[in-house]
Structure 1
Amino acid sequence: MSKSLSIIGCGYVGCVTGTCFADMGHEVTLVDIDPSRVYSINEGHSPIYESGLEDLIKENRKRICATTDLRTAVNNTDITFIAVGTPSNVDGSINLTYVFNACKEIGEILREKDSFHVIIVKSTVFPGTTDTQVRQILEEHSGKKAGIDFGLGANPEFLREGNAVQDFLSPDRVVIGADDPRTANVIRDIYAPLNPQIFTTSIRTAEIIKYTSNAFLATKISFANEIGNLCKTLGVDSKDVFDGVGMDSRISPAFFRTGIGFGGSCFPKDVCALLSGARDCGEKLNVLNAVIATNEAQPLRLLGLLKRHLPNLKGKTIGILGLAFKPDTDDIRESRAIPVVSSLCSEGAEVIAYDPAAMDNFRHIFPHITYTSSASSVLEADAVLILTEWKEFEYLDYSGKIVIDGRRIEAARNHATIYEGVCW
């Protein structure tokens, strides 16, 4: 049975969530404070760079509308997802301002609404946030009780940028956090068309499942890089090592890709938030502290390899292939290209960069480096650094070049005149 849903926030999570729910047959109202995003969606365009999303918006325009009017959206729907941003504070904790502001407005709207309305937190928040602070704000401003007069739950997302639509429509699992059965059943019914594997638990447990999943994957990457660094010293190919290790059914090969580390909007932010929250609880997470330290040091290894061949970078032209934190996205949040380019600039190098999607975003941080319209132009530099594994980089002619590869591009490995892989 189709439901009437409102989604607050039209970023990666909110826009993908709302569009995919519409594709499942639900009526969806997307809400955002940015009029340009609202206009884009209503015109059938995606406000974000995400593979397949714009086509899905166009296919489901009859079931999707976007607005800046939160009151109308909540009043005309039965279920509201909160999918606003939770950016990092300076100390690594998450900033919950957007979540709390949304809850305050929702609570005031619920005060005037008679029907049982369900609010689901999809934003990533530290365990205990929803069943304490969010609940308190909603109850205070609505004059109603969670679990009795309105529903409250958590439904964390597990979407990979560049593959988010497929991840939503073909999920490994759907985690439902609810402390009353009525809310749990409502969330379960929404996802029923996907026939997914559903794990139902408490709100607080659902929240920490999200953090634990991302922290474990980040740990695998940093562990792989530490072993990869040792393998390079020993003259061993780390890919062969992890191909063998990954055959163990207890371990699996996923995320054993050595390189310059992880970035993006989730892993760095979520690990740091978990560390910050644990400190507030009097716990020290030694393993995760090491994960972050390893990840921060990894891009500097690439620069060390470059200096083996060009000891003095001042006045040298260094080409950068890839600026996004991963391929198939324009997202540069916590991209490993940021510390690399920053270090190159501080040493007086001239930087020429190319990325198929992320140059406009990167230009906001580094307006003074040179951006080129083709990958082949980058190869004219004194040395080339590969920082994102875009598919098109596999077909370049690296012969005659000094290449420092942070992402294991086989063409560079096989054909560069001087080749250095970061940790293989």
Structure 2
Amino acid sequence: MRIAVIGAGYVGLVAAACLSRSGHEVVCIEKDEGKLAELQDGRLPFYEAGLAEIFTAGVGKGSLHFSSEVAACLDAEVVMIAVGTPARPDGRIDLSQIYGAVSRIVEQARFPQLIVMKSTVPPGFGENLKARLLSRAGVPLTYLANPEFLREGSAVRDWYYPDRIVIGGDQELAVAKLARLYADIDAPVVTMDVGSAEMVKYAANAFLATKISFINEIANLCELVGADILPVARAVGMDRRIGGEFLQAGLGYGGSCFPKDTCGLDFVSTCNGYAFNLLKAVIEVNNRQRVLALRKLRGMLGTLHDKTVCVLGLAFKPGTDDIRESPALDIINLLLDEGVKIRVYDPLAMKNAQRLLPPEVYSASGTMAALEGCHALLVATAWPEFTGLDWTAVKELMRPPRLVLDGRNCLPAEEIIKNGLVYQGVGRPAKPENQPGNIILPKSDRTPFRCQVTRC
């Protein structure tokens, strides 16, 4: 088929490249001149594992093209909308890029097309779009909801090995035509109405965010009662009804999806007269995890204004250079407000982070360079190269009390302690022999009060 993809971000570019690999003729529309120039020059504007090879092959054989003009998609049978839908300060989703793209299609369309929504939109948006814009087209434009479930860092794999393909539409032939795009993918195709398909995306992300916030709440309680979140989460996750994914306690979720989609669903709920209190708590817990990291550092280091802290990991998760809603950036700003000197390093995200970090933050060329002269280390992203450090060498580079705050519970605690550093995880009990002599422990690290339950 001839396919147009509007938007060359993490979703759009992966979709365009993978569809070209499946034998379709694909044009990708991108209005950002800098990004478009990179793409037309054969360079990717961001890192995504496995994408470069597919991208290069598609460009090389002429099945993948790039343009800045919506007019380039007028000959396509299928037009996929994959533009950004950023969150506004009040939680609303900014849909202006979608309205702009669809308006131009409506104005210029010359023959029937399928308009496929890949961008994440609030439930009910599709019906509104059909009534507001598509009904004005001079030719039939059929709207379909086809939410994506691609994880940054493994988006290519997720494209080819999805758990399901969701298609929302009210015209059977159109739904069947879209399903044929995925004929080379072995996954169940689940069809439903447009509004339900839009809700699936929000519900899935909200549930996963809930699992993360829930395990962080359990981790915080573990610290109060002297339990260890690692074996707790492992045993809980072995329950087939629950599953072990997204039960890693830490600094909370970030990225382009979970923060935006949880706030967006909360806003939709409020607008429809429903108080989604569970989701509000999920968002509150996630925001609080950043502050808890600050409290841990303050409790272990005492006064912060004369301290130097190394932050390893700036991307919101390993395997990507995306820093959107990164916990590390929030924590860095909190520490800067306390007068802390910050040194940072990330294997992939340094260039992106430097555009947002204040000039007083020192950007190191490598892990060991970032650690030099620091009183404390915060690991904010679980990059594999941080887990296998030479902790003897780390100790030599750092200054007392040589605190290691493991914000992702990804480091070898016993090895760190054995080498004479102070280790503190998230939801893990502090060991007396692993504490510096002149610290003030935060409340969560003090001897817990244990209640005795005698009746149910």
Q: Where do residues 333-412 of structure 1 align in structure 2 (5 Å cutoff)?
A: 333-368=324-359, 369-380=361-372, 381-399=374-392, 400=395, 401-412=402-413
**Corresponding letter in the other structure for 1:18:** A
Cα distance in 2 between the residues matched to 1:397 and 1:409: 15
Q: 1:35 Cα deviation (Å)?
A: 2.5
User: Is residue 2:191 matched to residue 1:200?
Assistant: yes
Question: Structure 2 vs 1, CA of residues 242 and 414 (structure 1 numbering), >3 Å: closer, same or farther?
Answer: same
Cα distance in 2 between the residues matched to 1:323 and 1:390: 10
1:275-312 Cα deviation digits (max 9, x unpaired): 00110000110100000000000121112111222111
Q: Where do residues 63-74 of structure 1 align in structure 2 (5 Å cutoff)?
A: 63-71=63-71, 73-74=72-73
User: Could you tell me the TM-score, scaled by structure 1's length?
Assistant: 0.95
8 Å contact kept, 2:134–2:141 = no
Specify the alignment match of 2:47 in structure 1.
Answer: 49
**Corresponding letter in the other structure for 2:377:** V
Give unmatched runs, 5+ long, in structure 2.
396-401, 429-456
Cα distance in 2 between the residues matched to 1:235 and 1:379: 30
Cα RMSD of the aligned pairs, angstroms, is 1.3
**Corresponding letter in the other structure for 1:404:** L
Q: Which of residues 210, 220, 232 is equivalent to 1:229?
A: 220
Cα distance in 2 between the residues matched to 1:23 and 1:143: 33
SS at match of 2:390: coil
Cα distance in 2 between the residues matched to 1:127 and 1:117: 23
Q: 1:343 Cα deviation (Å)?
A: 1.0
1:372-421 Cα deviation digits (max 9, x unpaired): 00111222211111100001001113343310110112235531410111
Q: 1:361 Cα deviation (Å)?
A: 1.5
Cα distance in 2 between the residues matched to 1:184 and 1:241: 44
8 Å contact kept, 2:317–2:381 = yes
User: Could you tell me the TM-score, scaled by structure 2's length?
Assistant: 0.88
Cα distance in 2 between the residues matched to 1:398 and 1:301: 25
SS at match of 1:353: strand
Q: 1:27 Cα deviation (Å)?
A: 0.9
Specify the alignment match of 2:416 in structure 1.
Answer: 415
SS at match of 1:257: coil
1:328-378 Cα deviation digits (max 9, x unpaired): 111111100122101111111110000111122212221321000011122
Cα distance in 2 between the residues matched to 1:79 and 1:316: 57
Cα distance in 2 between the residues matched to 1:39 and 1:193: 31
Q: 1:422 Cα deviation (Å)?
A: 2.1
Cα distance in 2 between the residues matched to 1:241 and 1:411: 17
Q: 1:176 Cα deviation (Å)?
A: 0.4
Is the radius of gyration larger for structure 1 or structure 2? 2
Cα distance in 1 between the residues matched to 2:66 and 2:191: 30
8 Å contact kept, 1:106–1:138 = no
SS at match of 1:193: coil
Specify the alignment match of 1:13 in structure 2.
Answer: 11
**Corresponding letter in the other structure for 1:378:** A
Q: Which of residues 120, 128, 132 is equivalent to 1:132?
A: 128
8 Å contact kept, 2:304–2:338 = yes
User: Is residue 2:302 matched to residue 1:311?
Assistant: yes
SS at match of 1:160: coil
Cα distance in 2 between the residues matched to 1:126 and 1:275: 10
User: Is residue 2:87 matched to residue 1:122?
Assistant: no
Give unmatched runs, 5+ long, in structure 1.
none
Q: Percent identity?
A: 40
Q: 1:256 Cα deviation (Å)?
A: 0.4
SS at match of 1:60: helix
Specify the alignment match of 1:321 in structure 2.
Answer: 312
Cα distance in 2 between the residues matched to 1:378 and 1:412: 20
Specify the alignment match of 2:275 in structure 1.
Answer: 284
Cα distance in 2 between the residues matched to 1:317 and 1:325: 22
8 Å contact kept, 1:397–1:415 = no
SS at match of 1:194: coil
Specify the alignment match of 2:100 in structure 1.
Answer: 101
Q: Where do residues 227-266 of structure 1 align in structure 2 (5 Å cutoff)?
A: 227-266=218-257
Question: Structure 2 vs 1, CA of residues 419 and 134 (structure 1 numbering), >3 Å: closer, same or farther?
Answer: farther
SS at match of 2:347: coil
SS at match of 1:365: coil
User: Is residue 2:2 matched to residue 1:4?
Assistant: yes
Q: 1:74 Cα deviation (Å)?
A: 2.0
Q: 1:238 Cα deviation (Å)?
A: 0.9
8 Å contact kept, 1:135–1:152 = no
Tell which deviates more after alignment, 402-411 or 196-205: 402-411
SS at match of 1:289: helix
8 Å contact kept, 1:398–1:411 = no
Cα distance in 1 between the residues matched to 2:179 and 2:116: 12
Cα distance in 1 between the residues matched to 2:291 and 2:99: 38
Specify the alignment match of 2:433 in structure 1.
Answer: none
Q: 1:44 Cα deviation (Å)?
A: 2.5
8 Å contact kept, 1:74–1:109 = no
Q: 1:135 Cα deviation (Å)?
A: 4.2
SS at match of 1:118: strand
Cα distance in 2 between the residues matched to 1:89 and 1:320: 28
Tell which deviates more after alignment, 127-136 or 323-332: 127-136
Cα distance in 2 between the residues matched to 1:21 and 1:327: 26
